[in-house]
Chain A
């Protein structure tokens, strides 16, 4: 075979070999094996190691992925297998050499944790399958076979007969769907949506009572970030102002509720609901104060100014100067929760209810704003500010309005957040909060509500559920962002524009009002 075929496969094997070595060095291999074992229902106690079989499984999956990705799409099956063979062998040789070093470490009893904190001898033994000197050979064989397997899988799944099979399944499914649609009785068509909402409502009512306080905490956190995401989306996604200090508005809401509703430092005890309203108002006031001077800025300049604004607010809250007023770096404790009809309404279940209701309300308001004159004006400003203005949109008022409404959502979320934690301090309002919210938009999909929910769940919910990856959170985070930007640059669930002509045209036809005029008549 010619050189052109060998060298890319060699390179690929080498690259993945290095990737695997890095995985081993930071102990990521053991973590993935642990997660795999959990996936299969094994009960792994924290700190203990998973069964060696799961490590084998992980390495096989890794090898198969290498084989799959190395075999080029348009090559003949034999060529594909050959490419996979080369890549697998290279991978095996690279890791075999690495194994020799690791084995030496075990034999001499050197502890490298001084330099590589994660690389415990037990982890190394697990990676070497506890076989000592023959493990390089085991790895070589395993990766070669796995790589060939991956290639074989690609050949089978991408072959013509396979694609015909999938097409058949798809058309069969569509046929079934059409049949089902034709057979649905009228009342289902009419009230189906309503019933669905009812079902979701009932679930939202009963689930928080059943699934325990930890899940309530996670759902509440995701819900709060959805509200924040919607707020920021009005500013960034609709009106196109890159805002990096969003946590400042969040802090406004949180501190308003905290200061007006905690025994220290002021002891005003105004009650939760009025102070929440004041919190929203304070956030809007802050937005106006920030917005008026910076309205003329755009892009990077605006981003830097708002970044500075966020930091100023946080540092002010922390400063010694204001300690008697804001509680200083230690924050404010014992924030009183909300009451409803004279009853305390501040258990974790109640907070989940509050957050879910506010979230649904936020989505509702967002949807209505988006499909209105104001929403369209914002989008126009984002697309082309000068042309939007020349089309008759008042840039100043619309931009400021977007900033204020977005800030109002942040103030709302902040107030609930502070009361739920019964505590708020400067560390709750760091730059990372703003970055997280922006990441939710980017990962989920700008201007898309399902995208924001998905993004909030991915970035805030998953890390809570997958506590194992705690140490690798930033790594996974960064990796996810890179993969996302390459494979789905518009987000997990990108926004689509409404089909106004199709929808409204049908409506007009039903009204019996034909379109008039036209160049082509």
Chain B
């Protein structure tokens, strides 16, 4: 195991009387695809918000390459190299696709407003460079030819891709994907799964994934954590998670594990008799 890129240590987030995330520990090694699963309301997105700086956790630490980042404002977190996408797509909907990616490039650029007015050499170079980079990224996420569409006019699947493109623009080291395949059909899901794998393999980005589609999760995750009522109830690789009775109970309710055993046996015997 290589050094962890991000460590979530004993993090708790409390809303009023509700503990949304309760003393969660997560360690993600570099270049891993790490999935967080759990039933609805388990605190997955809240945990994401704690990592990306949207929320300030009441207890615990979030370490990025060993440095604490909890409490930093989100723009600093982005600047450090953590990008994210959102469960319900949040693009800049009245701007074009290219402009969305150009805004994603923002933390990498240095010129200020005054240089923009007098058009210094540095500004022109940076501007043309960033446009070129944005077009390259547009092509990379498969939106070539859609660059001048307003983001809100793009089809749903492309909006998801554009969001990933915008997140990739600031050359992140860690990418947080919040349900990237939600609302997609089987073909689209397969394509998206393949794409996420490529991000890790080609760009060397560490990816943390929230996902409900078990096919996706079990197919690409190097490691999986399961949250239930804010608490981490299991961690391991795909096979370990599938066999974990607590996970099955979290999804199917008490007695679920036994039930699932029964059905498994039944199916096995059916298969044998056939």
Q: Which residues of A are in contact with B by a Cβ distance under 8 Å?
A: 365, 368-369, 372-377, 379-380, 383-384, 386-395, 401, 405, 497-502, 504-505, 508, 513, 515-520
Contacts and interface: CB of A to CB of B under 8 A. Distances in A.
Given A390-B75, A497-B96, A518 B140 contact: yes
Interface of B: 52-54, 73-75, 77-79, 83-84, 86, 90, 92-99, 102-104, 106-107, 109, 111-113, 116-117, 119, 123, 126-128, 130-132, 134-136, 138-142, 144-145, 147-148, 150, 166, 170, 195, 198
B76 to A, nearest CB: 9
Contacts of B83: 391
B163 to A, nearest CB: 10
A379 B147 CA distance: 17
A386 B117 contact: no
Contact of A518 (B52, B95, B103, B144): B144
A186 B112 CA distance: 38
Contacts of B131: 500, 504
A368 B144 CA distance: 27
B10 to A, nearest CB: 24
Contacts of B79: 392
Given A383-B92, A384-B90, A390-B53, A519 B113 contact: no
A391 B78 contact: yes
A380 B170 CA distance: 15
A388 B90 CA distance: 10
Given A376-B106, A518-B142, A501 B135 contact: yes
A444 B128 CA distance: 31
A484 B265 CA distance: 70
Sorted from nearest, which 9 A-B pairs have the closest CB atoms?
Answer: A501-B147, A392-B107, A372-B116, A519-B142, A392-B78, A383-B92, A390-B74, A374-B113, A499-B148
Nearest to B119: A368
A395 B78 CA distance: 13
Contacts of A497: 94-96, 99, 148, 150
A281 to B, nearest CB: 15
A405 B113 contact: yes
A291 to B, nearest CB: 15
Given A369-B117, A497-B96, A392 B170 contact: yes
Contacts of A365: 117
A515 B135 CA distance: 8
A515 B141 CA distance: 13
B204 to A, nearest CB: 15
Contact of B94 (A374, A383, A504, A508): A383
Given A377-B106, A380-B103, A499-B148, A395 B75 contact: yes
B92 A384 contact: yes
7 contacts: A373-B106, A374-B116, A391-B78, A405-B113, A513-B132, A517-B140, A520-B142
A395 B132 CA distance: 26
Contacts of B107: 391-392
Interface centre among B53, B106, B139, B144 (most CB of A within 10 A): B106
B147 A520 contact: no
A390 B52 contact: yes
Contacts of B148: 497, 499-502
